[in-house]
């Protein structure tokens, strides 16, 4: 099934691994299991199934591009608008997303291709990280 696979794909920001299987991503990246992943969703409707966006930030989340939001529950979400990335995401509705490298290492194409179950071409490294904002009920803090 697709929800068990790890995809190597061009995300909206950089080349990354996406999967609905968090434990498989953790093993591939050799990352501590207590660290959270960003959950990429295909629409605001899907986002609403996971969390409630504080009323004072709804317009910001709806209009944002290449932005990740840490919600009051401590989990991170990004609503994807990139057409290429949405081709895959519309089939899965949501995925955990992370860069295609070992934890705290730089991108290695050979490692990334070997680690992935499915490779979605074309791949081109833009190297533009998403902006990260931490949302509270009435406050906003830019993390990156």
Extents of the domains making up the chain:
2-142
Distance, CA of 49 to CA of 55 (rounded, Å):
16
**89 Cβ contact partners less than 8 Å away, ≥ 6 residues apart:** 18, 40, 41, 42, 80, 95
Q: Looking at the DSSP assignment, which residues form a beta bridge with residue 26?
A: none
CB 105 within 8 A of CB 24: no
pLDDT per residue of the chain (144 residues) written in tens, 0 to 9: 677 889 998 887 788 899 999 999 999 988 888 999 999 999 999 999 999 888 888 888 888 888 899 998 889 999 998 888 888 889 999 999 988 888 778 888 888 888 888 888 877 766 677 788 888 877 788 887
Distance, CA of 66 to CA of 81 (rounded, Å):
8
Q: What strand order describes the sheet that includes 118-119?
A: 118-119, 7-10, 15-19, 94-99, 38-41, 76-79, 67-70, 131-135, 140-142
The whole-model pTM stands at 0.87
Q: What angle do CA 138, 135, 76 make, to 5 degrees?
A: 160
Fold of 2-142: DHBP synthase (3.90.870)
Q: What tokens appear for 86 in the block?
A: 């949405």
């Amino acid at each position: 099934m697709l929800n068990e696979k790890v995809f190597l794909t061009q995300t909206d920001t950089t080349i990354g691994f996406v999967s609905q299987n968090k434990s498989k991503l953790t093993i591939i990246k050799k990352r501590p299991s207590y660290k959270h992943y960003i959950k990429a969703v295909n629409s605001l409707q899907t986002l609403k199934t996971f969390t409630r966006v504080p009323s004072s930030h709804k317009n910001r989340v709806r209009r944002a591009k290449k932005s990740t939001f840490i919600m009051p529950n401590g989990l991170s979400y990004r609503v994807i608008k990139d057409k290429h990335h949405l081709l895959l995401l519309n089939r899965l509705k949501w995925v955990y997303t992370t860069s295609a490298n070992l934890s705290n290492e730089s991108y290695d194409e050979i490692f990334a291709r070997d680690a992935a179950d499915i490779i979605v071409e074309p791949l081109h490294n833009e190297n533009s990280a998403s902006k990260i904002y931490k949302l509270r009920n009435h406050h906003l803090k830019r993390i990156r």
